[in-house]
Structure 1
Amino acid sequence: MTITANNALPMVFTDLDGTLLDHHNYSFAAAEPTLEKLKAHQIPVIATTSKTVQEVTHLYEAMAINGPFIVENGAAVYIPTSLFTKQPDNCESQPPFWVKTFSSPRSNYIAIAEQLKPEFGQYFTHFAAMSIEEIAKVTGLSLADAQLANQRQYGEPVLWRGGENEKHAFINAAQALGANILLGGRFIHLCDACDKGKAMNWLAGEYQHQLQLANVNVIALGDSGNDTAMLEAADIAVQIKSPTHTYPPLNTSKINFIYQTQGYGPIGWSEALNFIIDFSALATNPTKPTGELSHG
């Protein structure tokens, strides 16, 4: 592992859609050189996403990544059994993974969506009520990838078709029925009181414990409201520029540094990480000048 001067392991926790993957075509081509650079530095890249385990497994194969990942907005952490010498506490064995869950089942949130239909049914639909063809159309996924996207185990994505006033009323009603709400780039997610930040903290702590590190240096990247908890829990927060919305507001009190990208999606992803990696190389090399980590 590449360890910084203070024995802190850099770790990259990244959203996928609109961040590492292009918002429109889901390509990660623009990020490939940076992914290779991170591999060369032995810095783990950990998908932290609203996607399902099936989707991430498929994507990791394409990216040649063999590591842990966080699915369905922090609902569960999947750790390859080959990563650590010891099975983490409170993890279930689902070979080839150890799985840490933070959520109740998807069926709870499908039931909440059904309860909301008498009042709001004209304004929304959701994955369980949609055909694979419909999911493919609204997401831009292929039919095969849309099938993977619908193999959810925890929360339920809602496609909103109404106005903002109705949307606020819907959210309030869903919360009154026990749902937590996360706003993604395309969908409203009905889910448990879990989030990407809680899952990220747990996994970063497990790395630190298992590898007996003095510290870890967490870099988180995301573009949407469902990334906020992750970004606010990171040492370095990277907000990826989105073609569909402005940067979501952050509570900056606990973040050491925030980087807002100029590029969209994987272009911005690479922009930020190359800046961070290059600065870190300067900061830990006594033969070169150092300065404050800043963006501008």
Structure 2
Amino acid sequence: MSASFARALEAAHDAAGSQNHPTSTLYVVATPIGNLADISLRALHVLQKVDAVACEDTRHTQQLLRAYGLDRPNGQLLAVHQHNEAEASEAVITRLAQGERVAYVSDAGTPAISDPGARLVAAVRRAGYRVLPLPGASSVTTALSASGMTGEDGFVFKGFLPSKSGERQQAVQALSQESRAVVLLEAPHRIEALATALAVLGDRQITVGRELTKQFEQIETLSAHALPAWLAEKPERLRGEFALVLHDAPVAASMGEGLRVLQLLLPELPLKTAVKLAADITGESKNALYEQALALKNA
């Protein structure tokens, strides 16, 4: 632990020590998405105070706690992840029944936002115990705040799209008909496939957040059709975790119907014929439909 975090622990105690921290309570604690300094004073105090820490990955969480000088015996770390969340919730509820305070953290960010935690929270509530959230870092709000979106029409959080190509294309087709901003998440080994799928959205703007809050953070806004080429320009652009904001678009400007018709025609007809028929059927721009057809073929 660095001296700076030693002072942070003192500040955490001064700031939150006098607050009420009820027993028999599950504390849902947000942790940094990359920058250790993004931990809140309240989170530090609670992680020090609770009787046990339930977590997505015990090794990862032990390293995180150690960085803040909050080492815990292995017996106080409970593994609660996507593969065992239902069963592991019972162990947490048993501790709550004994009057303990239990914190839950995911590997990064706010639990239950494309991370485990939702089933645990639901089980604890059904059992009649209190759930107390500690807000903090989230890649969703971080990406939105840097995208320039006003949020006047709200936004949609989709998280990770399906990994299978056909299902992913169907999901993108649905996004093409969504006029509000959409937040997506993606892992480095799948970002190229996602970019190829999103390219059919043509000129619709996308803000790409890579390695958010970390040393090599990169945030760029570009057209959807330009995203595959942008990723391919430099190898480092394929590294790290991604949060993407698909900017909002007027309903009249969306290419939903044209894209749907293209997806039906392309498997049966030559590209130019499919584009001409799609333009005749929908009344949409032939040039724009041609770009979408090329992107679909590449996908």
Q: Normalising by the residue count of structure 2, what TM-score does the alignment of the two structures yield?
A: 0.29
> Larger relative contact order (C-alpha < 8 A, sep ≥ 6)?
1
Larger gyration radius, structure 1 or structure 2: 2
Query: Larger % of helix: which?
Result: 2
- Say which structure is richer in strand: 1
